[in-house]
Amino acid sequence: MNFSDYWQENKRFVTSVCTGVVLFFVAFLLLDGSLGSKDLTIRKRISEAQSKLREPLYSGQDREDAESDHAALQTALDQLSKEAVFEPRPDFVLKPGEGAASNLYFQRVDEVRESLRRLASRARANLPEGLDLEPLMTNDADTIERHLLALDLIDRIVRHALASGMQSVDRIQVELDPGFKSKEGVGIVERTQVLLDLRGSSRAVSAMIVASQGNEFGKPLIVDDLDIKIDRRDPDLVLVSMRLSAIQLHEPQRTEDLE
């Protein structure tokens, strides 16, 4: 069979095969060109990224600016910390060589109770029995140290209240920081808090609050919460509930200290 006869009998098949071959090569060329173009684009992006990585992210001036900002922030932090930290008076600080911590605490409690009792008597004001201070059944110096802070804070705010003309201090409660005896610890900021319920005229309350923010004891007292409402039994008086904090700051614990 010659080619002419074969063509006549199979021209449709041969045409389909040739067309498929042509389309295959055309598709291959197009695909190769497309992939080649994408490959060049990707290589270019990689090269640009590598060039950027080799360049320093920050200049020397950026470093100087950052150090200047850090110094300014540290100065501001030190100032705020100084203002916030409660500084107990010398009589309320445990000192080595002064005997058992518990004995010092009981001595200070007796002194504060007697001193405030005399002031309340002169002002014709009422104080809770024994200042509501529960006896400490511990010799732990850390616990006693925090109760001395609270005692110092109580002495200051009650003196302000009596001098301002408040009629009575109805309740006093001491709360140590929840983290004091926990496994997590107190963290950087420790709050020893004193809660008080007081009664007096609105003028006396205003005077007490103003006095608490003065510098009679070196710096203002930190009042975390203050609630004032009319006394239902005597509309001329107001009831005051306030929460004050003696704040202590601690250095953050390092990772190796926690292990």
Q: What is the pLDDT of residue 73?
A: 73
Q: What is the pLDDT of residue 15?
A: 64
94 Cβ partners below 8 Å, 6+ apart?
101, 104, 141, 144, 145, 148
Q: What is the pLDDT of residue 259?
A: 47
> pLDDT 10s digit of each residue in the chain, 259 long?
555 655 556 556 556 655 655 555 555 545 555 545 556 677 777 777 777 767 776 777 777 777 777 777 777 766 666 677 899 999 999 988 777 888 899 999 999 999 999 999 999 999 999 999 988 888 899 999 999 999 999 999 999 999 999 999 999 999 999 988 888 888 889 999 999 999 999 999 999 999 999 988 888 999 999 999 999 989 899 999 999 999 999 887 654 444 4
Q: What is the pLDDT of residue 123?
A: 96
Q: What's the CATH superfamily of 87-257? A: Ribosomal protein S6/Translation elongation factor EF1B (3.30.70.60)
Interatomic CA distance for residues 63 and 57, integer angstroms: 11
Q: What are phi and psi of 236, to 5 degrees?
A: -80, -10
Q: What is the pLDDT of residue 176?
A: 94
Q: What is the pLDDT of residue 68?
A: 79
**Does the predicted TM-score (pTM) go above 0.85?**
no
Q: What is the pLDDT of residue 258?
A: 43
Interatomic CA distance for residues 197 and 189, integer angstroms: 25
